[in-house]
Amino acid sequence: MLTGAFNSSGQIYQISGKIFDGLVTYDFNFNPQPQLALSWETSPDGRNLTLRLRPGVKWHDGQPFTSADVAYSALQVWKVAHPRGRSIYANLEAVDTPDPLVAIMRFSQPAPYVMNALHAVESQILPRHLYEGTDLNTNPRNLAPVGTGPFRFVEFRRGQFVTLERNPDYWDQGKPLADRVVIRFIPDPAARSAAYEAGELDVGGSLPVALADARRLAALPSLELPDRGDEALAAMAYLEFNLRKPPFNDVRVRRAIAHAIDRNFLLRNVWFGFGKPSTGPISSAMTKFHAPVTAAYPHDPALAQRLLDEAGLRRGAGGIRFRMTHDPLPGSDFYTGTGDYLRAALGRIGIAVEVRNSDFPTFYRRVYTDNDFDTTNFAAFNLTDPTMGVQRFYWSKNILRGVAFSNGSGYSNPEVDRLLEAAQIEPDERKRFDLFARFQQIAMEDLPNLPLGDIKWFTILNRRAENIITSPFGVHDNFAAVTLKS
């Protein structure tokens, strides 16, 4: 799939962000800037958002981009099928289209977060004329997208590459500055590192090389790891429990596992310093919403063993208390290395772990469709507001069969639902912070998942590539201004 309109996989956005523009983009202070929307206005009660669209924008097949595309995407795609969109647009009741260049989003409650959600990474607009009346999941345009962005889709060869070419009808006259973008798929991290070192690749984001190689490559005169470009992502690493299955439905077992994990060791030896241990379910990078929590889980194997004894899981033959499976997210040594560490750490307290490394389709099916897992580790973007990036993992209404990066644990707590839903509509910043602070406390007590680390997602660049990092979304942005020095 090459559209992120109803899939939140970070890898997709590095491709689709060049094909689709958003209603707005953002500067490094997170102020919205015009893109497909020229201007916007929020009603005094916070329930209506009027978007005035840019004239003359065309889809890549030549059809005009209009407010009807916004209405279709918001109501029939983001609101119903996007893992984060289901909470972001939960209170969206209608999108009025009084003019082809005017879309009025009408919410049943105030939506104080919505202006943070209109970038192409979060709310990608699909062409209504190619999607309406079709099955979203099987529409052939998912693999041959038609967008409004600076680059048009040319070719997709599975496991090899995606080729995009310059859009000659792009609304931003004179752009894009590059003629072609080729996205290569190189599964082996050592091969990726060698390709950057040899000058065969120009840019990669979201852990593009093995963590052990990153610092070495950054020291080469031809390459750099820029400090900017992940501010809007606020990535976090999680260990998620399947609460549907014993013994993980016992909070003592979840807390025991939390105490068995040395997150500082993980940071130093598996993540090579790219981040810091998490203290709660909201990333510390999200300074407006992050709060200290009262339920901490320091590394304490002795306490972990006492908790397992209390749960009736005493050591048996070979010192084993119970056996379990663990499914790391595929795609990087960051995930597989974390899985290997968890196997060793839990083995010390008598839990025998089978790590099941798999491809993406198998992982998604096991975790989010069949719920055939015990624990899993993955990373996800918190983005710029907890309603956008965090709520999806804890809200019971987001327990969705087949939807990746939703509430995979099956966690349901009515008080957590109430807090998250109240924060969704609370316009007062102080009150909203307090709601999220209480949510963080309960989430760490219940522990449906264990936040492992606030991760520094890095980008690697060949120094000949210019104007790559132009917003806090970094390599996920549209590359309209990118040039290469000869």
Beta bridge partners of 95: 105
412 CB burial (10 A radius; 0-12, 13-18, 19+):
middle
Residue 109 CA to residue 204 CA, distance in Å, equals: 40
Pair of tokens at residue 279: 């203290």
User: For residue 81, what is the enclosing H or E element?
Assistant: helix 79-81
Per-residue pLDDT of 67-92, as tens digits, reads 999 999 999 999 999 888 888 898 99
Q: Summarize pLDDT for 41-65 with one digit per residue, the tens.
A: 999 999 999 999 999 999 999 999 9
Q: What is the mean pLDDT of the chain?
A: 93
Cβ neighbors of 217 (< 8 A, separation 6 or more) are 193, 196, 197, 209, 223, 225, 460
Q: Given a cut of 70, is residue 295 above it in pLDDT?
A: no
| Tokens 């290569």 found at | 184
CB distance 300 to 258 below 8 Å: no
Domains with residue ranges and CATH for the chain: 10-142 (3.90.76.10), 151-229+458-484 (3.40.190.10), 235-455 (3.10.105.10)
Section 363-382 average pLDDT:
95
Could you tell me which residues are beta bridge partners of residue 328? 377
Tell me the mean pLDDT in the region 372-395: 93
pLDDT tens for each residue of 188-222: 888 999 999 999 999 998 888 988 899 899 999 99
Per-residue pLDDT at 294: 64
Tell me the C-alpha to C-alpha distance, in Å, between residue 202 and each of 443, 456, 466.
41, 20, 10
Give the global pTM.
0.82
User: What token pair was written down for 484?
Assistant: 């290469």
